[in-house]
Structure 1
């Protein structure tokens, strides 16, 4: 089966551009916007040669993994548009639950104590974990088109058949988890789940519902965390995400801190120190 949109996505006007190999689905999406594309366009590939992760990191997509980017044309309010990263995480988690059978209780990530009910969890701000290991990364990139409109590329990379070995955090793939799902099947489910969660988001008006759904799948909630912010490390307890989807931590002094951007570490890693 080649890449296909779910009927629900096609009915809502989403379109699909599929490739065998790309440099970067995000790069192509932003190029399409500059060429005049009006958005609601999925760019997908099973191989990506120049993928990017957060903070300029490399994201490797060998043959058989999924690289997918949704291009949307949004208004000037990029702060609200940025919360679509949480929509993307929820959509992917929903898709994974639909295509991976026999989901089971997951051990908390990075050695944290306790268990959780979701095998696929969401790690703030934009990762999806499976049994505590990184399965997917999500990267949002934007580019102003004129005084009123911006292009937003929502990139979603999933380790379907392979995962990186030389990374400083646990990683996994669907194949390593015993799943037989391929990239095409996962994308079909993702395009369907995106439509459901996008309707719930409702141009940002439904953000509180998205936030509550996200928290119900949040990795490390209520546990010890360490967050690296601009070279400094803040340690404490992960309390919630606030109405702006900032990471809320009660630090070791008892003070509440709200973090807009940073790298989060859980459990034993948080206790030992976040490298």
Structure 2
């Protein structure tokens, strides 16, 4: 399969390294950053054999799915860089809308899928996990920050035997290839990366993200280690933390955790 950048991404100076198969695009990107690569460069494959998600969980990516990472070396703090994951979610949602529309134009009977962003780093379709985002960063030469945003999408297959339901684009009747989605993603990334603007535009990113968010105003339970916070999903704050309105009138800011919405919130709280 041949990967290519969209025209806007190519003209903006992005580059690409494509692989038939690789252990982890994020790990490869960080290795290149340590060796002096400054980006911006995309790494992409349709088969990832040692992918990982948050908290070092395995990310299963069989051949035909899309595993991609964008590496940029920037001058910002880790806290500000972390908010780039919200821009990544917006870029992926926009790319999914694009390829979904293209698929419907080719096959008029195709399903009209709806995508939502789940805090902190998932994209859902029909309430099931379609994609995940993992941002990693480390300091490299001259005290600059190498930021890698890994984006994994279930194009042809979704993992089974996991604690949450997952879905693929093929399951949704969206007949596109990983290369088609990647090209659309590189185009959308340019747009939302520019809005983010080194963190200065996070207010706009936050507003756009909330417009597409799953579960706002719904019951939510956030589990982090042995601790669980339950209440209503109120908003995300200026740092990207999830704000939970608890039954005793408090507004709790959560920076990390596993999120359960609606009926599943009571399960997550047990």
**1:174 matched to 2:158:** no
Provide the secondary structure at the position in 1 that maps to 2:141. Answer: coil
1:74-93 to structure 2, matched below 5 A, reads 74-93=74-93
1:1-275 to structure 2, matched below 5 A, reads 2-101=2-101, 119-274=114-269
State the 1:254 CA deviation. Answer: 1.7
Provide the secondary structure at the position in 2 that maps to 1:100. Answer: helix
Give every structure 1 segment of 4 or more consecutive aligned residues whose post-TM-superposition deviation is greater than 6 Å: 103-106
* In 2: Cα distance, 1:76 partner to 1:138 partner: 20
State the 1:104 CA deviation. Answer: 7.1
* In 2: Cα distance, 1:36 partner to 1:70 partner: 15
State the 1:105 CA deviation. Answer: 7.6
Q: Is the 8 A contact 1:130 1:172 kept in 2?
A: yes
* In 1: Cα distance, 2:134 partner to 2:181 partner: 18
Q: Is the 8 A contact 1:26 1:155 kept in 2?
A: yes
Please report the RMSD computed on the Cα atoms of aligned residues, expressed in angstroms: 1.5
Question: How many residues get paired?
Answer: 263
* In 2: Cα distance, 1:229 partner to 1:163 partner: 25
Q: TM-score, normalised by structure 1?
A: 0.92
State the 1:231 CA deviation. Answer: 1.4
CA offsets, 1:181-201, max 9 Å, x none? 110000000000000001111
* In 2: Cα distance, 1:190 partner to 1:105 partner: 19
Unaligned stretches of 5+ in structure 1? 107-118
Q: Is the 8 A contact 2:76 2:198 kept in 1?
A: no
State the 1:271 CA deviation. Answer: 2.6
CA offsets, 1:57-112, max 9 Å, x none? 00011000000000010225111111110010000000000001359787xxxxxx
Provide the secondary structure at the position in 1 that maps to 2:49. Answer: coil
* In 2: Cα distance, 1:16 partner to 1:90 partner: 21
Unaligned stretches of 5+ in structure 2? 105-109
Q: TM-score, normalised by structure 2?
A: 0.94
Q: Is the 8 A contact 1:65 1:161 kept in 2?
A: yes
Provide the secondary structure at the position in 2 that maps to 1:26. Answer: helix
State the 1:273 CA deviation. Answer: 3.7
